[in-house]
């Protein structure tokens, strides 16, 4: 089998990991014409959590325009926390010619990053800093920031463990076109991680919904007279 080394960073960003520059240790055991990789895949996993950014440029109407889905029921919103998250994969791999055609691809290193890339907090510009309405709105939005961070903390270990589980049974990958090896690897990673990212999103939405209730809004509104 002829070996080639490749690297790719895919999913939401583009770049390269340095190549390993050495042949893999492969066992004599085979699967569909590809020898099995004897060494484990190296995993580097990081969590990111962007610092809150407080924005005062939007009016109540403009904040309303940022809402979507089930949040649309809360027309007249005076504040909003918008947390953006993403999962990035950088992959390093080796490609070996497959006697039966195509190529045997071996993921050798994965750098995965997950978390919040932005945490934007909007407080309607109609309310001056220091006013009751401003202070109460800001307190509420900061609750959302704390909830978002708590959810990320809860899922940190789950997502890492899911990646570890995937990597244990990942290699080899058979591809028809070696030039698409990086795309195929990341596609498999995305598919395998989709349920865990969906669980994170569901937990985040459900946790934030506990303080976005009509009852809580009525209680909050009663605290001030300068709405």
- Which two tokens mark 147? 């909830």
pLDDT at 8: 43
pLDDT at 72: 39
Tell me: the pLDDT tens digits for 213-226?
A: 999 999 999 999 99
Q: How far apart are CA 180 and CA 185, in angstroms?
A: 9
In a domain, 63, yes or no: no
pLDDT at 90: 97
Q: How many domains does the chain have?
A: 1
Q: How far apart are CA 35 and CA 91, in angstroms?
A: 20
Q: How far apart are CA 133 and CA 129, in angstroms?
A: 9
Q: How far apart are CA 166 and CA 24, in angstroms?
A: 19
Tell me: the pLDDT tens digits for 53-83?
A: 999 999 999 998 887 644 434 445 899 999 9
The stretches in the chain having pLDDT less than 50 are 1-21, 69-75
In a domain, 11, yes or no: yes
- Which two tokens mark 74? 């809360």
Q: In angstroms, what CA-CA distances link 58 with 11, 28, 120, 140, 153?
A: 31, 64, 12, 17, 30
pLDDT at 74: 44
pLDDT at 160: 98
pLDDT at 111: 98
pLDDT at 66: 87
- Which two tokens mark 164? 């570890």
In a domain, 78, yes or no: no
pLDDT at 39: 86
pTM of the model: 0.83
pLDDT at 76: 54
Angle CA 165–196–211, to nearest 5 = 145
- Residue 35 sits in which domain range? 3-49+84-116+127-221
In a domain, 59, yes or no: no
pLDDT at 67: 79
In a domain, 134, yes or no: yes
In a domain, 60, yes or no: no
- Whether 66 contacts 82, CB under 8 Å: yes
């Amino acid at each position: 089998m002829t070996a080639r080394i490749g690297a790719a960073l895919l999913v939401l960003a583009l770049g390269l990991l340095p190549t390993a520059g050495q042949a893999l240790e492969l066992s004599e055991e085979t699967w569909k014409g590809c020898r099995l990789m004897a060494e484990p895949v190296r995993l580097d996993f990081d969590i990111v959590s962007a610092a809150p950014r407080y924005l005062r440029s939007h009016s109540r109407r403009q904040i309303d325009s940022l809402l979507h889905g089930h949040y649309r029921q809360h027309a007249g919103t005076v504040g909003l926390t918008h947390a953006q998250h993403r999962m990035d994969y950088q992959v390093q791999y080796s490609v070996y010619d497959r006697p039966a055609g195509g190529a045997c691809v071996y993921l050798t290193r994965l750098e995965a990053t997950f978390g919040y890339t932005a945490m934007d907090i909007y407080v309607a510009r109609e309310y001056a800093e220091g006013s009751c309405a401003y202070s109460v709105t800001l307190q509420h939005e900061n609750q959302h920031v704390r909830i978002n961070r708590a959810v990320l903390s809860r899922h940190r270990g789950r997502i890492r463990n899911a990646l570890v589980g995937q990597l244990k049974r990942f290699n080899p990958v058979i591809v028809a076109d070696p030039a698409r090896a990086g795309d195929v690897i990341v596609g498999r990673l995305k598919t395998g991680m989709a349920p865990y990212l969906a669980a994170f999103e569901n937990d985040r939405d459900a946790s934030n919904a506990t303080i976005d209730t009509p009852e809580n809004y009525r209680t909050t509104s009663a605290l001030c007279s300068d709405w």
